[in-house]
Structure 1
Amino acid sequence: MSPQGMPPIISSMTTSLRSTLDFLLYDWLRAASLTARPRFADHSRETFDAVLDTCERIAREKYAPFNRTVDTQEPRFDGEKVILPQCTHDARQAYADSGMLGAAQDYELGGMQLPYVVESAANSFFACASISIGSNLLTTGNANAILVHGTPMQQRVFAANEFNGRWAGTMCLSEPQAGSSLSDIATRAEPDGAGFEADPLGPRYRLRGNKMWISAGDHELTENIVHLVLAKIPGPDGKPVPGVKGISLFIVPKKLVDTEGKLTGERNDVALAGLNHKLGWRGTTNTLLNFGEGRYPVRAGQGGGLDGRGAGAIGYLVGKPGEGLKCMFHMMNEARISIGMAATMLGLAGYYASLDYARTRLQGRPIGSGGKDASSPQVRLIEHADVKRMLLAQKSYGEGALALNLYCARLVDEGRTGDAGAAADARLLLEVLTPIAKSWPSEFCLEANSLAIQIHGGYGYTRDFPVEQYWRDNRLNMIHEGTHGIQAADLLGRKVVMQGGAGLQLLARTVAVTIAKARQRPGLAAWAGQLEQALRDVIDATRAAWATGNAGEALANAVPYMQAFGHVVLAWMWLDVADSVLAKDASLSIAASVGRMGAARYFFHYELPKTGAWLAVVCTRDATCADMAEDAF
């Protein structure tokens, strides 16, 4: 194996991923059965496979070979525009030409009406091959938010041109002084003249402020960029409404357009203030944007509120005033699941690379078999028990997280196309699982990347091999789209207690179905009992955390709670997957430790027992961290 700056076994990597996807999609989730529903009636297993084939090929040819290139040739600003390597342009164009930007959308929008679970599976190839190139998720999420909350005109002009690949999209929330505290944003939006409500593209405002950490905030990959921007509008007294109630959502295009979606030739007052230079995801432009600083003054509205040309970026209101967070969370929740998938695929990429290395690298001798005899032949790394442990951990994290992500995608399809009762349950269950789908892969698939470096030894810490880049790229995902602590507070502070705990109760009933099914297989009965107890412990811990009704006490240990909760969810995934494995091949047993069964066995023997320690501090509302005085540090 020769050191190189790209995945060492691109073909083998995508082949391994494809085998896993095929099993999860067809044998476990029964995705082909969705073709019985009217929305997907034009499809079949063959059309799903054709989409997977296309994405696998593009990822192998246009993405994976250039993963190191985009890491070393970072975006740069020449004072006029952002410069990206040609391979990024080529990959983005190939992706857009494939139709995947609107794969799950209606035919009328140029989409394929694919099930979302198939779209998610197909997109996983790009994330595995090069996450820096493959970060198109914000464009799709941006367009989907406009479809849900925008006017028909906004849908035709902005969303449709994002789905067809002409334009890209961003999400502009954070600000330098506010970070994740959205109630403290300072960007302002004021009506653009007396006739501001008459603009056919939506009520027209002038925005002034700064936004930070904007992925793909400026580039030349597309002819236009559609920014979705959170800003505060004035209240009845003309002053900004405090807190989140005054926050509204605006479409702010980089270049102004008409009602036919044609560029007017006028640049909006959105200026690139600087590029952020990151530890990972270096191939994706990350920006600080200034809105309305006057660098690109634009014409005033017809109402005459401003004379001639004035400062202020033109923005079109999306949805109702004051409901910006509600609108934006549609995009954020979709992005959170996508970030979970990104973290998962980086974890799997590291696993595939370290598995290949362990199979070919000769080092050491087995314990108890002449290990101290230097004249005896060396063995491959994979023959050492501890290396097998690290590989099993990676496999159980990565493939388990992939199962969770695809399960959540399947819930999206059920929520959109199932009967009323099943659709409502799917949406509620997805609400509960979303913090886990984002946070669990971002923590434990990062650990998988760390183990991949460990297997490579000192070589893993060099840029001669790709595993150090996978770790750097993945480290961002615990921060992306809501930090780990925010996800934990959302889970324990809202998701498991909302509607009187209805979501947690639904999850418990759903897991119980898997437990009952697994008990019918003698080989899985012990794991079923183990999961049942762990689930009971999580429910008891939830009650104990909120026993005093004091949010400060309950949420002081929200992250350990989320870690335990996530491990229980992943154990559920593995038990359900194991049942499908045995249903497909009854000759297998858990003792055989073959493939997926080995990973499931590892998770139940080595991982699920960890939940006890995490839940102990939750149940006692341990105040060690909360009570620590600042000067004691």
Structure 2
Amino acid sequence: MRETLDFLLNDWLRVGELSARERFADHNAETFGAVLDTCERLAREKFAPFNRLADTEEPHFDGEQVHLPQATHEAMRAFVDAGLLAGSQDYELGGMQLPCVIEMAGKAFISKASVAMSGYAMLTKGNANLLMAHGSEAQREVFAKNEFAGRWFGTMCLSEPQAGSSLSDVATRAEPEDAADPLGPRYRLKGNKMWISGGEHEMTENIIHLVLAKIPGPDGKLVPGTRGISLFVVPKKLVTPAGELSGERNDVALAGLNHKLGYRGTTNCLLNFGEGRFKPGGKAGAVGYLVGKPGEGLKCMFHMMNEARIGVGLGAVMLGYAGYEASLEYARQRPQGRAIGPGGKDAAQPQRPIIEHADVKRMLLAQKSYVEGGLALELFCARLVDEANTGDADAAAEATLLLEVLTPIAKSWPSEWCLEANSLAIQVLGGYGYTRDFPVEQHWRDNRLNMIHEGTHGIQGLDLLGRKVVMDGGRALQLLAARINATIERALPRPALAERVNELAAALAKIGRATKSAWATGAPEEALANATPYLQAFGHLVLAWIWLELALAAEGESDFARGKQAAARYFFAYELPKIDAWLAVVASREPLCREMQDAWF
């Protein structure tokens, strides 16, 4: 994997050029490499050896505390001690001012080693980054800074048992308190939050929850829909304005742990806020501090959600990558069957390694195209983050728009197709793939959650077709099309790529026509009924573009370069043609799914 990562960073994304920017002036190829070396070592020594342990010894609650394997505590402490939680932050925050793309590349090693154990870091970093963007100076100093230091970990609390993905139905209340507080306007929260990853543990002295809740209007009623949603920072244990524990427990209680198919190494919780089990200040209600302005909770929270969606995409990629490497190693060692043709059924002839069989090669090529293409996608998005943060005004604006349209793909595409890679890994191992003697069954179980994490496929499809490709008159889609056309222009002089150039150009045109057809009547219910097939087709277009980019960068006749070229060829031959079926129902605004009646099932 390291060779591929170095190729993507240096030969394709040319991250060395970032050192010319003021923020990254202290860095060079040597320091970037040292970060990757550190992450690779941590993954090998602290995470990978205990990934199975974290799966089999699930978190359990004894009525007072949640218990995790000691290995999880030690792995996260090693991650914190290496300074990786604050890697991209300012020096003043204990950070290294790393480019996001280098931080993401380092995280790839950790996610591949144990995505569930590393989940606490992703949540904490996203929580702190949100507070840096939307919190007050005191909230940044007290909460975010302690999270970056690893003293406290963080969560995001959106879903509720009755609401799920429908955030407009959030019912948690936040009643204002008169008391002034240096940490911000203070409220008392009451409600329940479900599916909260990292919501309870004993790895750090405090847990900082970011909670969506509604502030009652003058009539005491909650504002319907999403307009009334505000964001609050709610610590498990109350803290002083100096950032020390006050000694008082906040009214946040664990109601129970969810026991999942996979991702078992991350606690997943039902949390009760303000049920009265704890009474800070002598009364019920969890103490929370308003982040940003009232009614702008979703605007603030999407800062963390979009970051988390790219993080989920990376986790899905690396689970797929782990399965690919395991099945590749197995296929090289497992003898079974003989050559097709004369003498192929002669039992006296030696068996062949299964990697020599065409269908096994097909499954391995599919995995390679999914996971290496998916990794390139996530790193490209991280590189856009760096451009948005440090580029000139025009480049930053363009990168921001491209991120808008690519984020649904960065989350959804790997969570579907790298899951398929895990399924193919099991298939390569045959019966052994279903046993716990090999890791591929756990990779599949862990990855299955990623299609649901941070917004289901349906949610991502609605976001892409309903908002991202039509906002600002389709400006984001136009920018992406311009990038794709620029790649096509660069590839045109290469005779070996001529066929793929034509196929990509045709696919881009099909996406454009389907988008217009979907919205031809202007009726959202007609356009969006087939948003998920649109998402799938759009994702395959993006990945085909990326594979053409990688084929251009992978020059030469080395085995490494030929492998990249073969994966690109596979994606265009076997995967890109699938978009025709997906786009057909989009373009025709096929009404079946929206007209189907309950009783007909």
TM-score interval, normalised by the smaller of the two chains? over 0.9
Map residues 90-109 of structure 1 onto 2, 5 A cutoff: 90-109=74-93
Specify which of 523, 526, 533 is matched with residue 560 of structure 1.
Answer: 533
Map residues 365-514 of structure 1 onto 2, 5 A cutoff: 365-514=338-487
Partner amino acid, structure 2, of 1:531: L
Q: In structure 1, how many angstroms separate the alpha carbons of the residues matched to 2:392 and 2:494?
A: 31
SS in 1 for 2:595: coil
Asked if structure 1 preserves the Cα contact closer than 8 Å seen for 2:189 and 2:213, the reply is yes
Partner of 1:144: 129
Shift of 1:520: 1.9
Asked if structure 1 preserves the Cα contact closer than 8 Å seen for 2:554 and 2:561, the reply is no
Specify which of 285, 301, 305 is matched with residue 312 of structure 1.
Answer: 285
Partner amino acid, structure 2, of 1:622: E
Per-residue CA deviations over 1:46-102 (Å, capped at 9, x if unaligned) read 000000000000000000011110000000011111000010001000000011101
Partner of 1:62: 46
Q: In structure 2, how many angstroms separate the alpha carbons of the residues matched to 1:401 and 1:146?
A: 29
Shift of 1:373: 1.7
Q: In structure 2, how many angstroms separate the alpha carbons of the residues matched to 1:365 and 1:284?
A: 44
Q: Are residues 1:541 and 2:509 paired?
A: no
Partner of 2:299: 326
SS in 2 for 1:143: helix
Q: In structure 2, how many angstroms separate the alpha carbons of the residues matched to 1:512 and 1:369?
A: 49
Q: In structure 2, how many angstroms separate the alpha carbons of the residues matched to 1:184 and 1:612?
A: 37
Q: How many residues were matched structurally?
A: 600
Per-residue CA deviations over 1:169-215 (Å, capped at 9, x if unaligned) read 000000001100001011000012x23xx210000000000000000
Partner of 1:179: 164
Map residues 561-576 of structure 1 onto 2, 5 A cutoff: 561-576=534-549
Shift of 1:626: 1.8
Q: In structure 2, how many angstroms separate the alpha carbons of the residues matched to 1:630 and 1:231?
A: 33
SS in 2 for 1:282: coil
SS in 1 for 2:225: coil
Partner of 1:623: 591
Per-residue CA deviations over 1:542-584 (Å, capped at 9, x if unaligned) read 00000001111111111111111000000000000110112xx
Shift of 1:377: 1.1
Q: In structure 1, how many angstroms separate the alpha carbons of the residues matched to 2:134 and 2:419?
A: 35
Runs of at least 5 residues in structure 2 that lack an aligned partner in the other structure: none
Specify which of 114, 128, 135 is matched with residue 130 of structure 1.
Answer: 114
Q: In structure 1, how many angstroms separate the alpha carbons of the residues matched to 2:423 and 2:37?
A: 30
Partner amino acid, structure 2, of 1:264: S
Specify which of 232, 243, 251 is matched with residue 261 of structure 1.
Answer: 243
Map residues 32-431 of structure 1 onto 2, 5 A cutoff: 32-135=16-119, 136-192=121-177, 194-195=178-179, 198-299=180-281, 309-431=282-404
Asked if structure 2 preserves the Cα contact closer than 8 Å seen for 1:593 and 1:601, the reply is no
SS in 1 for 2:592: coil
SS in 1 for 2:191: strand
Q: In structure 2, how many angstroms separate the alpha carbons of the residues matched to 1:334 and 1:236?
A: 35
Q: In structure 2, how many angstroms separate the alpha carbons of the residues matched to 1:380 and 1:342?
A: 31
Q: TM-score, normalised by structure 2?
A: 0.99
Asked if structure 2 preserves the Cα contact closer than 8 Å seen for 1:593 and 1:599, the reply is no
Shift of 1:594: 2.2
Q: In structure 2, how many angstroms separate the alpha carbons of the residues matched to 1:156 and 1:221?
A: 21
Q: In structure 2, how many angstroms separate the alpha carbons of the residues matched to 1:369 and 1:86?
A: 58
Q: In structure 2, how many angstroms separate the alpha carbons of the residues matched to 1:531 and 1:593?
A: 21
Q: Are residues 1:18 and 2:2 paired?
A: yes
- 623-632 or 222-231, which deviates more: 623-632
SS in 2 for 1:594: helix
Partner of 1:7: none
Q: In structure 2, how many angstroms separate the alpha carbons of the residues matched to 1:18 and 1:99?
A: 21
Q: In structure 2, how many angstroms separate the alpha carbons of the residues matched to 1:628 and 1:328?
A: 34
Shift of 1:525: 1.9
For the aligned residue pairs, the C-alpha RMSD in angstroms reads: 1.1
Q: Are residues 1:531 and 2:504 paired?
A: yes
Per-residue CA deviations over 1:406-451 (Å, capped at 9, x if unaligned) read 0000000000000000000000000000000000000000000000
Q: In structure 1, how many angstroms separate the alpha carbons of the residues matched to 2:187 and 2:467?
A: 34
Shift of 1:524: 1.4
Per-residue CA deviations over 1:336-394 (Å, capped at 9, x if unaligned) read 00000000000000000000000001111121142222222111110100000000000
Partner amino acid, structure 2, of 1:625: C
SS in 2 for 1:63: helix
Asked if structure 1 preserves the Cα contact closer than 8 Å seen for 2:381 and 2:406, the reply is yes
Q: In structure 2, how many angstroms separate the alpha carbons of the residues matched to 1:600 and 1:481?
A: 29
Q: In structure 2, how many angstroms separate the alpha carbons of the residues matched to 1:509 and 1:33?
A: 23
Q: TM-score, normalised by structure 1?
A: 0.94
Map residues 602-621 of structure 1 onto 2, 5 A cutoff: 602-621=570-589
Q: In structure 2, how many angstroms separate the alpha carbons of the residues matched to 1:465 and 1:205?
A: 50
Q: In structure 1, how many angstroms separate the alpha carbons of the residues matched to 2:244 and 2:89?
A: 22
SS in 2 for 1:388: helix
Q: In structure 2, how many angstroms separate the alpha carbons of the residues matched to 1:499 and 1:235?
A: 33
Q: In structure 1, how many angstroms separate the alpha carbons of the residues matched to 2:97 and 2:182?
A: 29
Partner amino acid, structure 1, of 2:204: T
Shift of 1:333: 0.4
Q: In structure 1, how many angstroms separate the alpha carbons of the residues matched to 2:595 and 2:350?
A: 57
Per-residue CA deviations over 1:280-329 (Å, capped at 9, x if unaligned) read 00011000000000111110xxxxxxxxx110000000000000000000
Q: In structure 2, how many angstroms separate the alpha carbons of the residues matched to 1:593 and 1:530?
A: 22
Per-residue CA deviations over 1:219-239 (Å, capped at 9, x if unaligned) read 011111000000000113332
Q: In structure 2, how many angstroms separate the alpha carbons of the residues matched to 1:331 and 1:418?
A: 22
Runs of at least 5 residues in structure 1 that lack an aligned partner in the other structure: 1-16, 300-308
Q: Are residues 1:518 and 2:506 paired?
A: no
Asked if structure 2 preserves the Cα contact closer than 8 Å seen for 1:158 and 1:226, the reply is yes
Partner amino acid, structure 2, of 1:431: E
Q: In structure 2, how many angstroms separate the alpha carbons of the residues matched to 1:133 and 1:272?
A: 20
SS in 1 for 2:409: helix
Q: Percent identity?
A: 70
Shift of 1:593: 8.4
Partner of 1:14: none
Q: In structure 1, how many angstroms separate the alpha carbons of the residues matched to 2:7 and 2:152?
A: 35
Q: In structure 2, how many angstroms separate the alpha carbons of the residues matched to 1:236 and 1:320?
A: 17
